[in-house]
Amino acid sequence: MSNDTITGVEGPLTGYTVIDLSRALAGPHAGMMFGDLGARVIKVENPGKGDDSRSWGPPFVGPEDDPQATYFFSCNRNKESIALDLKSDTGKQTLRELISRADVLIENFRSGVLDRLGFSTTVCMEINPRLVLLSITGFGHDGPESSRAGYDQIAQGEAGLMSLTGSGPDDMQRVGVPIADLLAGIYGSYGVLAALLERERTGKGKVVRTSLIAGMVGVHAFQGTRATVAGQNPQPGGNHHPSLSPYGLFKCHEGAVQISVGNENLWQKFCAAFDIDPATEGMSDNASRVANRPAVIELIESKFAAFGPEDLLAKLGDAGIPSGTVRTLEEVYSWDQALSQGLKVSVDHPVLGDIDLPGPPLRFFDADGEAEVETTRTAHDAPPLLNEDAEAIVSWLDSDG
């Protein structure tokens, strides 16, 4: 483990150094997760234009002569930036020095690109035998389609997620965020943490590999076993659960609410609250309700028609029925519950000044008898400008020869 820390910032990974060679979203999201945990994350970018996502927009914000892409902000907080030409001798030498000082290296080049730059897996591990190298590709590092470029929506389709998402078989939809990229980054991060733990026992680093399609298959969950065990071929079911009923989004007066009636006890409570006979033909158990879903939806929405969303949610809450609304993102980032969980953070950006970003999803506590003291990192850095930290990084490398 490196002895280098970020002044004033603590976290479970304080003292670890991560070199982030990745661009776009999957790798940068992984790097941001390590930064949120207190690691020093050094983002290596192409000179001139930097990470691809610096130009992904609209929206752009800030001055016309220096527009900032909000996409880049989504996956690069708590990092430093240095621009290196990895085709030049100087750039390669600086990268070698960074690798020699790092605990983790992240890359998401297409298979073979890093090898051609002179930094194959073998070379990286020769430079630093304790290195944990996270490599993310679109379709995997081997196999008949390993050379294909990986983009999120293509992976959502190829790995089956789009075949499950949408209002029906003729309306397949992608998920509203780049979920294949994000999950590859998340799975990759958990692989790196496992490798770092193993390194404590063995003293040796390891290569961790994942891909966009692996992340997608990894979250098939019960839909996957419907296919592999039950021999079914799941299709989009809209906003209603394929194996539970009633469970989904239901219309009410001037709106809609979501309910989750996940067991027979809840069904009995639900029926009592809305004057429904729980033994109604075709609705007496979950399997029957799933088979007769249209009739269940029609009955429930007829009961809900007398209530607006706010009154309906209050009634459902009083009855002990899990329920909720559908919030816009604007509503989420002003919601007291989200704010209480640290899910919005403020940072000082060198061009834009004070801005708010989505916050990290983890919190940490020290237990002291009955009391818990939160130890989550609270000081966050804005996503860096291109090459913003080059001087400090080079000085750090020079300081220990």
| pLDDT for residue 249 is more than 90 | yes
Instruction: Map residue 214 onto helix, strand or coil.
Output: helix
Q: Calculate mean pLDDT across residues 190-201.
A: 98
| pLDDT for residue 3 is more than 80 | no
- pTM above threshold 0.85: yes
Q: What is the pLDDT of residue 310?
A: 97
| pLDDT for residue 343 is more than 90 | yes
DSSP 243-265: S-SSEEEEEETTEEEEEE--SHH
| pLDDT for residue 4 is more than 50 | no
What is the signed CA dihedral for 232, 233, 236, 240, rounded to 10 degrees?
10
| pLDDT for residue 288 is more than 70 | yes
ω into residue 58 within 30 of 0, thus cis? yes
Answer yes or no: same fold for 17-221+385-399 and 247-324. no
Residues labelled as active-site residues: 181
How far is CA 191 from each of CA 135, 195, 196, rounded to the nearest angstrom? 11, 6, 9
> What CA–CA distance (Å, rounded) separates 313 from 202?
54
Averaged pLDDT of the chain: 94
Which residue in 182, 181, 199 sits closest to 16, CA to CA? 199
Q: What is the pLDDT of residue 2?
A: 38
Q: Which of 7-16, 57-66, 110-119, 278-287 has the lowest mean pLDDT?
A: 7-16
Which residue in 312, 325, 327, 239 sits closest to 270, CA to CA? 312
Q: What percent of the chain has pLDDT over 70?
A: 97
Q: How does pLDDT run across 294-335, given as a tens digit for each residue? A: 999 999 999 999 999 999 999 999 999 999 999 999 999 999
Q: What is the pLDDT of residue 9?
A: 63
Q: Calculate mean pLDDT across residues 63-72.
A: 96
Q: In angstroms, how far is the first alpha carbon of the chain from the final one?
A: 18
Q: What is the pLDDT of residue 6?
A: 43
| Domain boundaries defined on the chain | 17-221+385-399, 247-324
- Contacts of residue 190, defined as CB under 8 A and 6 or more positions apart, other chains included, come to none
- At the fourth CATH level, which superfamily is domain 247-324? formyl-coa transferase, domain 3 (3.30.1540.10)
| pLDDT for residue 275 is more than 80 | yes
Q: Residue 116, Cβ neighbours under 10 Å: how many?
A: 10
| pLDDT for residue 240 is more than 90 | yes
Pick the CATH number of 17-221+385-399 from 3.40.50.10540, 3.40.50.300, 1.20.1560.10, 3.40.50.2000: 3.40.50.10540
Q: How does pLDDT run across 150-183, given as a tens digit for each residue? A: 899 999 999 999 999 999 999 999 999 999 999 9
Task: Considering only CA atoms, give the Rg of the chain.
Answer: 25
Q: How does pLDDT run across 349-400, given as a tens digit for each residue? A: 999 999 999 999 999 998 876 678 888 888 999 999 999 999 999 999 998 6
Q: Which residue has the tokens 């621009």?
A: 83
Q: What percent of the chain has pLDDT over 90?
A: 91
* φ, ψ for residue 344, nearest 5 deg: -140, 130
